[in-house]
Amino acid sequence: MAVRKIKIHREGYRIILGVFVLLVGLNVAAWLLWPGLTLVHYGGLVVSLLFLGFIVMFFRTPARLVEPDPLLIYAPADGKIVVIEEVFEKEYFHDNRLQISIFMSPFNMHSNRYPISGTVSFTHYQPGKKYLARSPKSSLLNERSSVVVTSDNGTGVLIRQVAGAVARRIVTYSKKGEKVNQGDELGFIKFGSRVDIFLPPDTEVNVEMFEQVRASRTILARVI
């Protein structure tokens, strides 16, 4: 049976190296301060390896190929559905939109993907607070980055990366005017957060509340 290799996201290289150096330093310091092999030393080593393994797994980025389909809207992130409701979207569309929100725990893959193919027609970064990502007000008050992609058939979708209480940095690669493909990487959010997606109100929803979804795998909705 073939062994699947874990690909590490480029956003994680410096953090993983920094954590590795820090853990090595702490373990060496412990051995110098308390000479001799003890359960404390072994326990510290085990905890260090587990923590390093968690950091490495956090920055994993599996390859997920997508066959583009203009009638399908894929999940932009891994996580749990926490919002499905019609709201007034006031940042770009200024009309009623169907909002679907995905909460990402620190254990989810955190690479965000484009849910549709099209042209990036809007990008905006907004500094903000650090409310829990599960909170409805986090979408409007937290640090966030919004991207609008307009498909060739005129369907506009707003994807909003929202930082949570733990997230330390939102990375968005989108540039206004560029052509993007369904499943391409949109950005990355470090350490727990949420992604909101705003769709036309007549879109046919394909997921349910609290359902676990996967970026570029789960079909969120269908364009009618």
- Is 101 part of the annotated catalytic residue set? no
For tokens 């570029």, name the residue: 216
Pairing of strands 144-150, 156-163: antiparallel
Look at residues 58, 180, 206, 63 and name the one whose alpha carbon lies nearest to residue 115. 180
φ, ψ (nearest 5 deg) of residue 61: -145, 90
**How many whole angstroms separate alpha carbon 73 and alpha carbon 219?**
6
| Cα separations in angstroms, 162 against 7, 17, 67 | 24, 26, 27
CA 55 to chain centre: 15
Marked catalytic residue, from 139, 145, 193, 216: 193
Q: Supply the DSSP string of 40-69, one letter for each residue.
A: HHHHHHHHHHHHHHHHHHHTB---------
| Active centre residues (catalytic) | 193
